[in-house]
Amino acid sequence: MGLEAYLKDTGFITTQVNAIIAWARKNSVWPMPMGISCCAIEMMAVGDPKYDIARFGSEVMRFTPRQCDLMIVAGTVTYKMAPVVRKIYDQMPDPKWVIAMGACTSSGGMYRSYSVVQGIDQFLPVDIYLAGCPPRPDNLIHALMKIQEKIGKTKASQFPNLASDVKSITLPDLNVIQNN
């Protein structure tokens, strides 16, 4: 192919470690398909040849959280399901990102009810809120491109070894149910 053929003998490229890591990272985002309800159907459509998420290097939907960088929370999260979602998120290796796919995960959506968490940002750090009920597959691809944009701007120094650093981090306790 063009560039490789041209550079194959003596050629070399200079770059920054940050840049090449971010470039590699953003083009191989492996999603964890946290398909809980109907949004998961649109998420499956994203993998098919018509929309083809493989064009963005994200076709490997891993069903074990230990191999994933991106959690797509697709569907209504109830209070009973929330600890499960959180547990799976905790099992994913750092660095990791989260897409809140659809109205239910972003805000509770049409389920303004005692049993549904009114937005998964109450217990997960969310990077992208994706509108729609459910969002069209194009929209999910757009969210993925936004995540790639975000990953592209990261630096390796932003991801210290969290295991040794975890005690110094205190996050606010947002365990609050909104009153009606």
Partner 1 sequence: MDFKELITQKLKEKFPSVEFELTEYRDELTIKFDKKFIVEVCSFLKASLDLEFSWCSDVTAVDWANRKNRFTVVYNIFSMKHNFRLRLKADVDESDCNIDSVSSVWQAANWQERETYDMYGIKFNNHPDLRRMYMPEEFEYHPLRKDFPLMGIPGSLPLPKK
Per-position x/- string for 120-139, each x denoting binding to partner 1 as judged by CB under 8 A, each - no binding: --xxxx--------------
Tokens, residue 166: 């975890």
* C-alpha to C-alpha distance for 107 and 118, rounded to whole angstroms: 5
Q: What minimum distance in Å lies between the beta carbon of 154 and partner 1?
A: 21
Q: What minimum distance in Å lies between the beta carbon of 179 and partner 1?
A: 6
- By CB under 8 A, tell whether 152 contacts partner 1: no
- By CB under 8 A, tell whether 83 contacts partner 1: yes
Strands (E), the chain: 31-35, 70-74, 97-101, 128-130
Q: What minimum distance in Å lies between the beta carbon of 114 and partner 1?
A: 3
How many Cα atoms are found within 13 Å in the side-chain-facing hemisphere of 120?
34
Closer by beta carbon to partner 1, 122 or else 139: 122
Q: What minimum distance in Å lies between the beta carbon of 165 and partner 1?
A: 17
Count of residues in the chain:
180
Distance set, CA 97 to CA 29, 159, 178 (Å): 9, 12, 26
Asked whether the beta carbons of 21 and 84 are under 8 A apart, the reply is no
Tokens, residue 136: 């069209």
Q: What minimum distance in Å lies between the beta carbon of 75 and partner 1?
A: 17
Per-position x/- string for 50-79, each x denoting binding to partner 1 as judged by CB under 8 A, each - no binding: -----------------------------x
Distance set, CA 151 to CA 5, 43, 61, 130, 179 (Å): 29, 21, 18, 17, 36
Closer by beta carbon to partner 1, 2 or else 172: 172
Per CB under 8 A, residues contacting partner 1 are 79-80, 82-83, 86-87, 112-115, 117, 122-125, 171-180
